[in-house]
Amino acid sequence: MGTNRRTVFVLATLAFMGAPAVAAEVSAKRGAQVAVTSGCHDCHTANYLETGGTLDPALALKGTVLGWQGPWGTTYAANLRLVAREKGSEDAFLAYARTFQARPPMPFFNVHAMDESDLRSLYLYIVSLGEAGDPAPEYVPPGEEPKTPYIVVAPPTMPKG
């Protein structure tokens, strides 16, 4: 388990189809790609969206102080470096990632649906990112005014007629 690069063989493929085993790589490098293609940086990395996907390694997945406000209150994309360290191991992170719930606009159901090798790789990537930094601001319940800038996620405006 202690290596950075491993291979998970999908034996089911072999058993059912008689095809060669599919090798799913587990590595921090792959985790870096998963974080991009699954959109985690979009919300969890400051300045990423605004700069057209320029990733500042010092800010990667550290969460942001920009709130998302809606009927659920105001939420902040969490510091995933802290979350990964709190879980303490790849297996604990995997179990958590499969089951956690979060308020909007966090698409937690997308994380539940990720492949095991995606999630293990994501963990290796996150813990490779260096110092964990500070937590994102605390969740603010509905009706209370946040102390940070925030985006209002308003109900859709429907065309008349």
Residues that bind ligand HEC (CB under 6 A): 38-40, 42-44, 68, 75-78, 80, 83, 100, 102-103, 105-107, 110-111, 139
**Least distance between ligand HEC and beta carbon 79 (Å):** 8
**Least distance between ligand HEC and beta carbon 105 (Å):** 4
Evaluated on CA atoms 40, 42, 44, 46, the torsion sign reads positive
**Least distance between ligand HEC and beta carbon 65 (Å):** 12
C-beta of residue 121 within 8 angstroms of C-beta of residue 30: yes
Q: Which is nearer to ligand HEC, 52 or 161 (CB)?
A: 52
CB burial of residue 43 (10 Å; 0-12, 13-18, 19+): buried
Phi then psi dihedrals of residue 119, to 5 deg: -70, -40
Q: Position 88: which residue type?
A: G
Q: How far apart (Å, rounded) are the C-alpha atoms in residues 137 and 75? A: 8
Q: How far apart (Å, rounded) are the C-alpha atoms in residues 49 and 83? A: 22
Q: Which is nearer to ligand HEC, 19 or 86 (CB)?
A: 86
H-run or E-run covering 156: none
Q: Position 154: which residue type?
A: A
**Least distance between ligand HEC and beta carbon 20 (Å):** 29
**Least distance between ligand HEC and beta carbon 143 (Å):** 16
